[in-house]
Structure 1
Amino acid sequence: MKKLQPIVPLGLLLIVTSCSSQAQVIFEDNFEGDQLNMEFWSYEEGDGCPNLCGWGNNERQIYNRDCVSIEDGKLVIEAVKTGDKYFSGKINTKDKIEFQYGTIEVRLKLPTGHGLWPAVWMLGANIDEVGWPGSGEIDIMEYVGREPHTVYSSLHTPASHGETENSKKTIIEDIEEGYHTFKTVWTEDDIQYFVDGDHVYTFIPKAYDDANYPFRHPFYFLINLAVGGNFGGPEVDDTIFPAKFYIDWIKVTKN
C-alpha cells in the first residue's frame, strides 16, 4: 500500500489525492515508526467510571495506554490480566480525524479466546451534544471469542440500539487465521459491508430521519479490545492472556 501523509492542522482534515486513483484519500494510517501518531489518535483510559462504569456494557477491562503499541508496522492492542484485574487498550480520533461519508477499509488480525471483544467502530462527532444513541454508531467490525468463525456488522440508531436489529452475523470459517480486510461503504442513503471483498450486508433505513438514519454528519474512529461484558462475556477464559489485536492499516477514500 502506498504511504500517504495527510495534513491535519488543529483537528481539520485536508483532502489528499492519490496519484494512482480517482478516489481521494482523506485519511490513512499504516502505523509506521515506533509510536502511535498523536496527530490522528488519542488514548481512552480507565474503567469508564463514574459516568459510564464498565463502558456501558459491564466490561471488565481497565484501559491503559501502555497496552497500545506500534510493532513492525502494526498497531497492537494487548489485553492482559494482572492479579484480579484486566487491562487493555482503546484509541479514538475524536476532534482530530472526523469525516462524513466514504469507503473505510481496515486490515486486521483478530485475537481469539472466550471473553475477548475486539472492535473497529465509529461514533457521531456530535455525541457530546446529543449523547448515545442519538449520535449514531457504525460498527465496522466486531468479533466475540465465544462465537468462533463469526463477525458482526452492526448499526446503532435511536430507533434500534443495544441489541440492534440493524445487524448481520457472518460466518467465515478461517476468520481467525491471518489478516483479513473489512470494508464499509458509507453514503447519504445506505451503508454497505464487505469482508475480504465479499459483500455481507447492506443497511437501508426504514425512514431517513434522525431516529432511523443518524448518519448524515461527521463521525470519528474507535479501535479497542474489550474483555467480558454483556456482549463479549460474561465468562472470561483467563488462560488466553496475554492476547493481541493487530491492525495493519486503516484508510478512508471518497470518490
Structure 2
Amino acid sequence: MKPIVLFLSVFTLLSCGNKEDKKEFYFEDNFDGVELNQDYWNYELGDGCPNLCGWGNNERQIYTKENVSLLHGNLVIKATKDSTNYYSGRITTKNKIEFQYGTIEVKAKLPQGAGLWPAIWMLGNDIDTNTWPACGEIDIMEYVGKAPHQIHTTLHTPDSYGQSINTKITTIKNIEDGFHLYKTNWTKDAISFYIDDTLVYTFSPEIKNDKTWPFDKPFYIILNLAIGGNFGGPEVDDSIFPQEFIIDYVKVSSSD
C-alpha cells in the first residue's frame, strides 16, 4: 500500500464561520471499532533486536499485538509483566498516514508508576535512508512515571539530540487525572506544543537548515508505552502492573 502523504500547508480553506469550522480534518481515528484499523496503523513488535535492541534506549519491554486493544471507543496500550518479561504495545502510521505540516491532536490518559514511559511522537518518513537524528523527531508528549506531574515536549535534530536542548518540561499537578489533550501545531516556520489548549513551548530556530530544522517533509505518528530505558528507568516498580495508556482519539488537521 502506498502511503497517504498529506501536504496540509497547500490547502485553501473556503469554509465560513468560527475558527474551528475553518479547520479541515485530513486524518481522524476515534478507535470506535473492535480492532485496530490496519489501513492506518502498523504494529511494531518485539524488543528491537537484532538491529536496535532495546529500541536504542535500553528499554525492557517486548511489544506484542495482544497488548494493544480497542475498548469502549478507546485505544488501550497495556503494560504487563510475567515472571520473566515485561510486555507492552507500540503502533505507527509509517507508510500509511504521513503528512507535512498541520495540527496533531491526541486526547489521552496517562498510566502511572516508576519505570513507565508513554509517548506520543513523530519521525521523518525518510528514516530508513536518512537515519536518526537526521530524519528529525517531534515529541508531542513524553511522560516518565518516576517524575510525576511532568510533561516533556522535545525536538531532536542533527544539531541537538538525545539530551536535546530543544525541550520544555511542563509541570501540571493533576496531569495524571483523567484525559488531557496534547496538541502540536506544525508549520514551515515553527512547531508549537499545547497541553489542554495552553501553549507550553514553541520551537523556531532563527537559522533553519538540515542541522537545525529537518521538518520540511512528511512525518508519521507513533504511540507507545515503553518500560524502563535510559529515560523511563532504570528502576521499574514491579508492583504497579498492569498499567494502561489510553487514547481517546487522534486527529490531524490544517494548521491553526
Report matched runs for 1:25-64 at 5 Å: 25-64=25-64
State how far apart, in whole Å, the 2-side matches of 1:126 and 1:107 are.
Answer: 27
Q: Give the Å deviation of 1:12.
A: 2.2
The answer to whether the 8 Å contact 1:122/1:137 transfers is yes
- The 1:13–1:206 alpha-carbon spacing in structure 2 relative to 1, beyond 3 Å, is closer
State how far apart, in whole Å, the 1-side matches of 2:131 and 2:65 are.
Answer: 25
In the other structure, the counterpart of 2:150 is 150
In the other structure, the counterpart of 1:210 is 210
State how far apart, in whole Å, the 1-side matches of 2:23 and 2:117 are.
Answer: 32
Are residues 1:168 and 2:168 paired?
yes
Give the match's secondary structure for 2:54.
helix
Report matched runs for 1:7-26 at 5 Å: 10-12=2-4, 21-26=21-26
The answer to whether the 8 Å contact 1:13/1:26 transfers is no
State how far apart, in whole Å, the 2-side matches of 1:190 and 1:143 are.
Answer: 23
In the other structure, the counterpart of 1:136 is 136
Give the match's secondary structure for 1:130.
coil
In the other structure, the counterpart of 2:71 is 71
In the other structure, the counterpart of 1:192 is 192
State how far apart, in whole Å, the 2-side matches of 1:13 and 1:129 are.
Answer: 18
The answer to whether the 8 Å contact 2:106/2:182 transfers is yes
State how far apart, in whole Å, the 2-side matches of 1:134 and 1:65 are.
Answer: 29
The answer to whether the 8 Å contact 2:98/2:219 transfers is yes
* Counterpart residue type for residue 210 of structure 2: D
**Among the aligned pairs, what percent are the same residue?**
56
* Counterpart residue type for residue 216 of structure 1: D
Q: Give the Å deviation of 1:243.
A: 0.5
Give the match's secondary structure for 2:21.
coil
State how far apart, in whole Å, the 2-side matches of 1:93 and 1:142 are.
Answer: 18
Corresponding pairs, count: 247
State how far apart, in whole Å, the 2-side matches of 1:18 and 1:174 are.
Answer: 39
Task: Flag structure 2 segments of 5+ consecutive residues without an equivalent.
Answer: none
* Counterpart residue type for residue 213 of structure 2: Y
State how far apart, in whole Å, the 2-side matches of 1:174 and 1:160 are.
Answer: 31
The answer to whether the 8 Å contact 1:47/1:54 transfers is yes
Are residues 1:248 and 2:248 paired?
yes
- The 1:82–1:185 alpha-carbon spacing in structure 2 relative to 1, beyond 3 Å, is same
* Counterpart residue type for residue 96 of structure 2: K
Q: Give the Å deviation of 1:95.
A: 0.3
Give the match's secondary structure for 1:199.
strand
Higher deviation after alignment, 21-30 or 144-153: 21-30
Give the match's secondary structure for 1:75.
strand
In the other structure, the counterpart of 2:179 is 179
In the other structure, the counterpart of 2:111 is 111
State how far apart, in whole Å, the 2-side matches of 1:11 and 1:215 are.
Answer: 18
State how far apart, in whole Å, the 2-side matches of 1:71 and 1:84 are.
Answer: 27
Superposed CA deviations along residues 10-68 of structure 1, whole A, max 9, x for unmatched, are 42257899977222111100001100000000000010011101000000001111100
